[in-house]
Each structure stands twice: as structure tokens, then as C-alpha cells.
Chains A and B, each alone.
Chain A
Amino acid sequence: MTKKNPDKGYVAILGWSLNAINAIENFDRRYIIVAPQWAEDYARENGIPFITWDFERLNESSMEIAEKLKEEGVDVAIPLFEETVEWAGAINAVLLKNPRLMNQSMLFRDKALMKRRAQLGGIRVGIFEEANDKTDVIRFLRRVNQALLKLDGDPDDPIHLKAFDKAGCLGHRVVRTPDDVDNIPEEEFPALMESHLDGWEFAVEAFIKDRKIHFLNISEYVTLGYSVFVPATPDLEKWRPQVVAEIEKLIETFDIDFGFIHPEYFVTSDGKMYFGEVAYRPPGFNAFELIERAYGFNAYQAMVMMFDPKTTDEEIKAFFPREVVDAKGHAGCFGVYPRRRVINELRIPEETENDPYFEFHELQSPMQNKVPKRSAFGTHWGLVYFFGDDPYRMRDLLKAQEDLDYYI
């Protein structure tokens, strides 16, 4: 749709996301989508440049896609999903003649490796260990709580269990008691265990080019796995200088020349920042859409600029607004999960519908009456979007949604 600029780079997008493709179609870079076969017909019918690739098949033929893209004249590959991050690393190692990129991407894909590298770089992380089975989890739970000087009968501090290589909240469990451990299916092992940090968790979206941060957004989590909004409250924004310093440490430690990163941090009550994890791809929970709503620029386009080796400094300066002050308001979203076990219909709670901050929802009417038990974070049924001026009101409003029934 938008006229393509031949002086700019040619990018390959790894993964299929209509919102991303829509954004890039309306940007001046030439692009090609690399995605699985099931998307091919749709791409052809709609004139979307497309190469079929099966990302689950990681083997010797991996060079093939890199060579194919090189022949096509592609300058750089951009991952959309966790599963395509190492593919992007491997492909960019070839396209940009920089084998280091492959190794770097492996760090992003393995949460345990990632934590160790961070620790080596002098970044503060919580206590963590790899677990191979349930006994490891029980041992870790006990040890963490002994270290916290809990007596028998005191409620234990929880620990967190995360899959090594899954995005965001997928496979993220909170374990409070040995009984919880029984509910973990065997196939979730091995996994990463972390101590629980009683603090304030938040995420950062950082756009990086030439090892410099060009735009940094802080996303405030109201409740992990339920709700997030941007920009954050002043209470959290006051940590921005420290956050910038931490991101710069990440850039050094992980040797990040360009691209987009999405790390998560904790600030504890004594003001220390702990690194949680970092992803080299757009965040889940539609944070890009929230950024666009708040700031008016398209974060997918911004990401393309960061990856494109032919992007100029002037272009970047002209593209990004000023952080926080240029935001038109605060945009938030809430992931709905039915609170009842048996439901009949979708009904937006009246107080939500009448709230001036409520924008719209993407919920669908239920297909079945029985609600499956929620086993981990991140399995919401759809998002509800809010927008308004006051970040504190936004925070309280998102919190209040947790006590409302959307499905009755």
C-alpha cells in the first residue's frame, strides 16, 4: 500500500501476525513474510510477499532458508514469536556475516542460560535453579524458605516455575506448597525455578540501534497475567534512570547491537532492581497495540527500523515521540478469565461498560458452558481495552476488573 523506498532495507518477517503484516505493508520498507504453510493461501490471495517455512523443523537444512533469503536480497530477518528468535539469529548470522548473532539468540531462548549470562554481567537476579523433576522443586521450595528463616507452620513464600523456552506467561506456574508440585505434569520438565520476589514487577520495551536506546517504554503490570498499561504511573516512572542503566547493562552483557528487547524486572521494597528475563521479540498481551494507542506510532514499524541496517539517525529522531510526555493518555488491557465454573453467556459488566475509560473488547461468546480449570498464567479468553488520562485511575480500574464477571 505504502510506496516502498529502494534506499531502505529489505526485511524478512519470521512468523505470521496480521497486525504486524498490516503495519509493515503500510511502511516504506520492502518485506517478505516467512511463515508456515497454512498461511500461504491467504498470503497469495491477498498479495502478501511470502515464503513458506516450517519453523519446527530445525536441522541441517536450516541454512537453506538463510541462503534463500540472501538470494532474494533480504538485508535482515526479524522474529515475531519466541519460536522464531533463534531462526532470526541463525539467518542474520549469515545475512550480516556475524556468527555471534546465532549464539546470542540461543541465550534469549534458554531462560537458564540467560540468567547465568546476566549474573556474569553483574546484573542482579533472584535465586534460581534448573529443575529436572518434582523432587528438585520440593527441595528448592524448602531451601528458599529456610533461607528466609521461616519457621514450621509459617506460610511459605512461593516459588516460580517457568518453561525454559516458552514465551511470557506460557507454562509459568506459582508453587506455594508441596501439594502444588503434584499438579505439575511431567512434560513440563526440565524447567527453571525462581524465588519469588515480593516487589513490583514490570516490563520494558526497548528499541535499540547501534547499541543505543532510542525509545524506552515501561509497561506497568497491575496483576501478572491479567493486566498491563502504558505509560506507567509516575511512581514507577521515577525509576526510569535506573531502568535505563539496567538496559544498558543488558546491551553490554548480551552484546546487543540492534533490535528490540522486552525484559522484565522487579523492584523490591528496598529499591533494588532484579532482572527477570528478556525476550528478543514483540511482547505478548498486545503491548505494541497499547503503545500505538498511547503514543500514536506503530511499534512494529519502529522495530523494523531498528533491525534495518540502512536506517539513518535522522529517520529515527523524526520517528519516535518523547517518552511519557508525548503520550496522549494511558492505554491498558485486561485479560479476561471466567470466574465461574459454569457459564452461559458473555455479558460485559455494567460498571465496565459505563466506565469512561472502557474502549472495546475482543471477547467472544462462549462455545461451551463448562470452564476448563486454569492451570497456568496466560490462558485468558480475550482482551478488554481501556484508555484514559489518569494512570492511577487506570491501575485501580484494571485491578477492579479482576473481581467482575464477564461470563455468567
Chain B
Amino acid sequence: MNLNVEPAAADKQTQLLQEKLESAIGRLERASLFAKLNFQTQVLELAGRMILLPGGVQQLYALAPRLDDAGLFYGTDWAEPGALLPRLVNNTLEQGSDPLVMLECMSELRLLAIANGEYSHEGVSVEQARHFLTQVLALNLNHLFGTANEALRTRLGKLGDGIQALFQYLLDHIGFDNILGSLIDEIWRILAQRPIQVGGVKTMVTQIALTLAQGVGDIGEARLGSDRLISSLFGPTQGCIDDPGLDAYYARLEAMDFPTLQQEAYGFSRAMHDVGLVSDYHAGYLRWLLQNDQSQLIPDALGLSSTGLDVLRTYQNLIHKLIEEVIYAQTAQTVYGLAMLLERGILYAPPIAPGLWRQLNLPLSEQTESALMAAYGDAVTPRVRLLSGVISLLGQPLGVGQGNNPTCQSARAISMWSYNDPDFLMHLIAQAARFDNIQMNFEGQPINSAELAAGLASNIPLDTDPVSIVLVPHLDRVYNAMGQACVGRGEDPHRWINPEFHGWWVGREFYIAVDVASGKLKNDYVSYLEQFYRSYHPLYNGNQPVIHPQPAGIAVTDSNAQFVGWHAIALLRVGLDQNDVMRVYFYNPNNDSGQNWGDDVVVSTHGFGERFGEASLPFPELASRLYIFHDDPIQVQTDIIELPKEELDHVQDMALKSWAAERQPAEV
């Protein structure tokens, strides 16, 4: 059971470390349960050195079952391997302290031992362990391929090499063809939400392309999905199907007759709208059209409907100028944002076109320039980068995500403004980008972001879209200042902040499920739920649709239905899906809305009538996780309609079984 390596292979350093590890594991094994915590760190520290040695991962793998039995995970969040979520692994690796990072690594090795049938742990089957690791690999390709960003490398130091060795080891055991299938599914699932930021997806697709090109075995049906992904990036049309390189492609365009050029345009737009990814060739093609007096093909290349076409014709100069200024291979994805911007028809609102002209020529402050350069480098100028971000955001209001930053409120605000108040958003962007300041008012008092200390996002976020990079630090500070102003009021501050922060269209009436003083569920939780039904459910509110997106708060639960934290979302619409189930469609600023909240509450992102970027849940399921919502103060008289008592009881049960389990009111 002990360290069993051939003595010949183990050099002296490894052997010494083994002895020390052995002695630390011995102490951990002998420790009583209540004292395990005192002895875990020593083991993790030694393991952190072991993983860096040649063959170190193999050593740790052999030890993993024994370490689990010894209590390495006791009392930690990793105690129950069956409850772990693949999605969280990355977060620990990127944010955790060294001992936590090592604990995560050991947890993976424990699961590998289970997957290989060499160890068993209650609550995890061989298949589950294998599935978990497949997911982890698919979600952490950056560690696998050593493409982790600079910030991460600096933070992890040497341990980064250890993590890469671990992932290589996992891959050797799980097999690439195994992860490929789920990886491809994963990419399609993400793309179905049409995110603005597709850098990660593009990296994954590229890796898949490389792997398949190297002739990794038969991947069966997954091949179909991967082919479409790869071709959409590297060869969406007949003219570039062999990925000839941009220069060669331009040469081919010169030789094409009009119908062939038109075929190219159809090919590009079809790939883009099918997949949600834009090929570099597509960007090159658009530039070429403008430069070669073929702009009549732009509508086909963008795949415009009659609405988009009409907008393009109305604002032709502006759109051509935008293409000329912004569309490069480095900003190819903006083509999709541009197409969607035209399709939305928002250019017909008077301030939008002049707003875009302002943005086109906007001089940026030094701070803005350096923030954009830090995040994106200098492949294009910061002005172009920001402009591309503005176009994408206006075209894809639901495609914005908070990245790895605790700023869901700001991301949600940006999304809602883009959806609903785009000229105001453009005003804020211009102010922040040029003057490093935004001004808002709270209860009559002006708040200037430039005068405030940093809020939640103490560092400038680096992993979001260009607009967020410029705007979020300001929004975050303003939001915090509004929170400060509410200190001592004894009630949830969102009551006052939400309408002032977002806009007049946020309902002034505020409902909360929790008693702020005690943190417990309110005694009249049922009437809270009844109000939500009367406010939002078309069958009980006089068939009133949601007019403006409304900020709301949810109690996020994990796949075990355990409370995780409070989170900001926006309610967009309520309607019947194809199965006649009443669903709430909402926006979640989290980068991936498809989440399992436990107890069979699984948030859907496609397949149930969702528009791109929307998440949805059946009405009662969403109600069971909702803890804050707004409504207009004067409501339609709907008291006469009887509420579905049984359904409301069920909703209450779901809440009490999940996030409110430890918030039971004194008397229910």
C-alpha cells in the first residue's frame, strides 16, 4: 500500500520526499477526526513538492486512496466527491491558496483512482468519476495545453507546472477521444448562448482541429459536430475550405465571378448564424468587398433579413465606416455583433447613429487605453477594440458575462441597458472611456465614480468584453457608493439601489423573501410567492407581459440544492414553451447560464423557446429560487383570479428544501 516505485527509478530527492510525506501521512492517519485539519496542510505542502518531481503525479496517484481514507478531505468542501462540480475546479485552481490548489489536484487523482476501478468511495460510481474528469479536462484545456494566461502563471508559480503535469496525467488515463465528444457538446452548448467573448471557445476548437489533424482515433458521431465547428472558423466557404491563408484567399477572390462571390457571402453568413463563430476569412471578405466596390454583397455576407437590410440601406455610410474601422481578422467576431445590431433595428432610435459616430472618433484616456491593452494586447488599437466591443454589446445584449469577477450587478446593468436603454449605455461608455468618470445620482445626490475608492472589483477585470473592462470598475464603485448610502436603513439596499442605478423602468415596488435582520425566510413567504405570481404569471396577472427587463435576485444553489450565494439576474419575459409549460426567460450575467441548481432544477439555455443568451426555467422552479423582485406600484386588479394553491405549496417546499433549509421562519 505504501509508496511502491522501483528504487532504481527513484532518485534520492524523490526518496527523501517520500519519507517525509510518509511521516506526514502517518500523522494524518493517526489524528482523530476533529484534529484532521491540523495535519492536512503538511501533507498538501509536501504533495505540492512531490507533484513537481518527475513521476511525482504517479506517486501521488498511488497515494490518493490512502490519503482519502486518512482524512485529507475531511471537513473540507471536497469531503463528498459525489457532490463536486467540474465547473468549480477551474475556479479553485485559479483563485485558491496553494494548499487548496493541491487539495483540488488530489481530489482529481482520487476520482481517477475511482474511475480506474482501483478505489471506491460512497456516492461516486466508476462512470460518474470518469464523467467528472472528462468534464474537468474539457473545461480546463488551458491547463492541459499550457495556454493558461500570464496572470495565472505568475500567481501559481511553480505549482502551475505541477497542474499541467496533473492534467497531462489525467489525459493519458482518460484519453483524448473520450473528452472530445463531451468537449464538442460543451462548445455547442456554450455557443448556443451566443457569448460575446469567444476566445476560450476558439482555443478549444483550434485544439480539437489540431488533435484531429494528428489522427487521433475514431471519434464517431462527435466528428460531425466538430467538423462544423472547425469549418466555421477555418474554412466556412468553398473559397477557403482548405484554409489557404488570407493572402491566398484574397488572390482567389480577385478571380471569382459575381455568382461565386455571392456563394461565398452565403457560405459565410450561414456558418456564422449556424454556429455563432466568425471566421477570420469572413472579416477579410467584408473588407475586400468594400475595397473592391462590391458592397452590394454585404447584406448577404451578414445574412440580413428585410429589417437588417433596411437598416443597412438607411445608415449605409455609418455601417460601411464601421466595417472599415473595426472589422479585422483580429476582431472577426464583431461581424456577428454587427449583423445582430442591424437586425435589432435599434438604429432607428434617434440617438443611436450619432452615438456610434461619436464612438467612432472617441479619443480615449490613458487609463482606458492601458486597461484595454492589458487585456487584449496591441493587435488592434484600443479605440478599435472598444468600438468592436460596443458593436458586439449592442448587437448581443445578452452575450455579456461577468468573467471571473464578483460583479454580477454591473454585468447585468450593462446587459439591461444594451437591451433597453442603449443610448444611455453609449453615453456612459463615452464618459468613462474619455474622462475616466461616470456620474449617476442617488436620491438627489450626484455620485462621481472618479472620486470613489475601488469596489468589489478591486483590480481591473481582464477576462471580459472590452466595454466591461472600461465600464465595470466605474459601475462597481458607484454601486458600492449607493450601498454605502443605504447603510443603517435596516432593509435590503436593493430596494433603493435597483431603480436608481438601472433606470426609471425598474418597478418601484420591492418584494423580498428574507427577513433582513434575522436572515430567515419571512413568515409570510407564501404571500411573497403569491405576489410574484400576481405580478409576473400571465395566467394570474391579467395576461400582462414583462415590459422592461426587471432586476431580480436569486438564491443560487448547487447541484445538491445547498445554498451557494445571492446572485443578480434580470427577468426578461414569461411565456409558454412548445410543451405548454409556463417558463420564465431570464438573463444571468454568469458566463454560462446552464446550471444545475439541484432537486431537478436545471436551468435550460436552449431547446425550450429560449432566444440566444436567455436562460429559462418553468415558472414554479424559478419562483422557488427567487428572493427579490420588483413590480410597479399600481397594479392591475387581479384578486378575483384564484391562485394555484397546490403549485404555490410546492414552490414553498422547494425553497425550504434547498436554499432556505436553514432559514426556516420561526413559525411556518
Q: Chain A interface (Cβ within 8 Å of chain B)? A: 1, 18-19, 21-22, 25-26, 42, 46-48, 293, 347, 353-354, 356, 359-362, 365, 387
Among A42, A48, A347, A360, point to the contact of B42 (Cβ < 8 A). Answer: A360
> Are A293's CB and B16's CB within 8 A?
no
Stretch with Cβ within 8 A of A (4 or more), from B29-37, B242-250, B269-277, B504-512:
B29-37
Please judge, given known A-B contacts A359-B20, A365-B97, whether A46 and B33 are in contact too, CB under 8 Å.
yes
Give 6 pairs: A residue, B residue, CB < 8 Å, sorted on A: A18-B37, A21-B32, A47-B34, A293-B23, A360-B20, A360-B42
Distance between Cα atoms of A361 and B45 in the complex (Å): 8
Closest 9 CB pairs of A and B: A22-B35, A46-B34, A25-B32, A360-B45, A360-B42, A18-B35, A356-B16, A359-B20, A22-B32
> B486 near A: Cβ within 8 Å?
no
Chain B hits for A25, CB < 8 A: 32, 34-35
Q: B95-141: which residues lie under 8 A (CB-CB) from chain A?
A: 97-98
Q: Which residue on chain B has the smallest CB distance to residue A293?
A: B23
> Are A353's CB and B49's CB within 8 A?
yes
B38 to chain A, nearest CB (A): 5
> B13 near A: Cβ within 8 Å?
yes
B154 to chain A, nearest CB (A): 10
Q: Which residue on chain B has the smallest CB distance to residue A24?
A: B32
> B24 near A: Cβ within 8 Å?
yes
Q: B1-51: which residues lie under 8 A (CB-CB) from chain A?
A: 12-13, 16, 20, 23-24, 30-35, 37-38, 41-42, 45-46, 49
Chain A hits for B13, CB < 8 A: 354, 356
Q: Which residue on chain B has the smallest CB distance to residue A46?
A: B34
Distance between Cα atoms of A362 and B45 in the complex (Å): 9
Please judge, given known A-B contacts A356-B16, A360-B24, whether A21 and B34 are in contact too, CB under 8 Å.
yes
Q: Chain B interface (Cβ within 8 Å of chain A)? A: 12-13, 16, 20, 23-24, 30-35, 37-38, 41-42, 45-46, 49, 97-98, 157
**Central interface residue in A42, A359, A365, by most chain B CB within 10 Å:** A359
Chain A hits for B46, CB < 8 A: 359-360
Distance between Cα atoms of A48 and B157 in the complex (Å): 40
Q: Which residue on chain A has the smallest CB distance to residue B34?
A: A46
Distance between Cα atoms of A294 and B35 in the complex (Å): 21
> Are A48's CB and B34's CB within 8 A?
yes
Chain B hits for A47, CB < 8 A: 34
B469 to chain A, nearest CB (A): 25
> Are B32's CB and A1's CB within 8 A?
yes
Chain A hits for B12, CB < 8 A: 356
Please judge, given known A-B contacts A25-B32, A387-B20, whether A19 and B38 are in contact too, CB under 8 Å.
yes
Chain B hits for A347, CB < 8 A: 157
Distance between Cα atoms of A135 and B172 in the complex (Å): 74
Q: Which residue on chain B has the smallest CB distance to residue A364?
A: B97
Chain B hits for A19, CB < 8 A: 35, 38
Distance between Cα atoms of A25 and B20 in the complex (Å): 24
Chain A hits for B49, CB < 8 A: 353
B48 to chain A, nearest CB (A): 10
Distance between Cα atoms of A128 and B552 in the complex (Å): 72
Q: Which residue on chain A has the smallest CB distance to residue B41?
A: A362
> Are B20's CB and A22's CB within 8 A?
no
B71 to chain A, nearest CB (A): 12
Chain B hits for A361, CB < 8 A: 45
B480 to chain A, nearest CB (A): 22
Q: Which residue on chain B has the smallest CB distance to residue A357?
A: B16
Please judge, given known A-B contacts A1-B32, A26-B32, whether A18 and B16 are in contact too, CB under 8 Å.
no
Distance between Cα atoms of A26 and B46 in the complex (Å): 25
Distance between Cα atoms of A48 and B32 in the complex (Å): 10
A220 to chain B, nearest CB (A): 21
Q: Which residue on chain B has the smallest CB distance to residue A355?
A: B16
Chain B hits for A21, CB < 8 A: 32, 34-35
Distance between Cα atoms of A360 and B31 in the complex (Å): 18
Distance between Cα atoms of A22 and B13 in the complex (Å): 31
Distance between Cα atoms of A129 and B164 in the complex (Å): 62
Q: Which residue on chain B has the smallest CB distance to residue A22?
A: B35
Chain B hits for A26, CB < 8 A: 30, 32
B274 to chain A, nearest CB (A): 47
Distance between Cα atoms of A365 and B96 in the complex (Å): 12
Distance between Cα atoms of A46 and B31 in the complex (Å): 13
B427 to chain A, nearest CB (A): 39
Distance between Cα atoms of A21 and B20 in the complex (Å): 24
Distance between Cα atoms of A293 and B42 in the complex (Å): 14
Additional A-B contacts beyond A18-B35, A22-B35 (5; CB < 8 A):
A18-B37, A22-B38, A293-B23, A359-B23, A360-B42
Distance between Cα atoms of A365 and B24 in the complex (Å): 21
Please judge, given known A-B contacts A356-B16, A365-B97, whether A18 and B34 are in contact too, CB under 8 Å.
yes
Distance between Cα atoms of A354 and B31 in the complex (Å): 28
Chain A hits for B24, CB < 8 A: 359-360
Distance between Cα atoms of A361 and B43 in the complex (Å): 10
Chain B hits for A365, CB < 8 A: 97-98
A384 to chain B, nearest CB (A): 10
Distance between Cα atoms of A157 and B24 in the complex (Å): 44
Q: Which residue on chain B has the smallest CB distance to residue A356?
A: B16
A285 to chain B, nearest CB (A): 16
Distance between Cα atoms of A259 and B157 in the complex (Å): 48
